[in-house]
Structures are given as structure tokens and as C-alpha cells.
Amino acid sequence: MEVIVSARHFDVDESIKEYVTEKMSKLSEEYAKLTTARVVLSLERNWQVAEGHVTGKQLDMEARASTTDMYSSIDEISDKLERQLRRHLGKMREHRHQVSLSEALVEETAGDVGDAEEFEEVAAV
């Protein structure tokens, strides 16, 4: 996964870049379909703001956090993105499960109709 780190109103040092890359790579280990993570760090008065944007196959999620410490802001967006991804994947699994159940019901009712047709043929004879 490609991790892009940029900053507004200040220069990013290597330790912050490495920290962001480490946090975002943990997300890509759990969710293999992620392609790009973009993190924008900024300073707004007394707040240190981190904005995260993750894209992947049929996936686009954003998170924003502002605290007085840049590292805790990065932790918060990482946690928020992980929660969003977990929820999205849960919905996808649930949808697949519902589709497979509905297909099973269709097959079951189709089998019942076939039995009824056989019964009518035997009764007619």
C-alpha cells in the first residue's frame, strides 16, 4: 500500500513520517484490498490536526482528529479508519450471508414445486 504523508503550515520530520507509515501499514495488513493511504497533518492555533483518507477496491474512507499532540491525532485517525473498515467488512459479510440464504430458499422452494408436479402426474394416472 502506498502511504502519502504531507503537511500544512509546517515541515514533517522523519519520525512522524515513520510513525504514520507504521500505523497505516497495520491497516493494510488486516485489509488487503487497500491501495492508498493519504495523511495530511496541519497546525491550527493550538490544535494539531490529522486527516486520513484511505482508498481501495470499491472503498473510500476518511477520518479527522484534532488534539494537542500530533502522535495522538495520528492514533485517533488510525483507530477511526480501522473501525470504519471493520464495520464495512462486517456489512459485506452479512450481505453475502443474506444472499446465500435467499439462494438456498429459492432452491428449496423449487424442489418443493418439482415434488408437487410429480405428485400431480402420479395422481392423473
55 CB neighbour count, 10 Å cutoff: 17
Number of H helices, E strands in the chain: 2, 4
In the chain, DSSP assigns E strands to 2-8, 34-44, 47-56, 59-67
> Residue 86 region, left (φ>0) first, then alpha (ψ -120 to 50), else beta?
alpha
**Is pLDDT above 90 for 63?**
yes
Q: 110 vs 68, which has greater pLDDT?
A: 68
Rounded Cα distance, 94 and 67, in Å = 35
32 three-state secondary structure: coil
Bridge partners (DSSP) of residue 62 are: 53
Q: Look up residue 9 and give its DSSP letter.
A: S
Where does the pLDDT of residue 54 fall: very low under 50, low under 70, confident under 90, or very high at 90 and above? very high
Instruction: Please give the pLDDT value at position 90.
Output: 85
The pTM of this model reads 0.73
Residue range 78-119, pLDDT digits in tens? 999 999 999 988 887 776 666 666 666 666 666 555 555 555
Residue identified by cell 486520513 is 52
To the nearest whole number, what is the mean pLDDT of the chain?
Answer: 84
**Is pLDDT above 70 for 17?**
yes
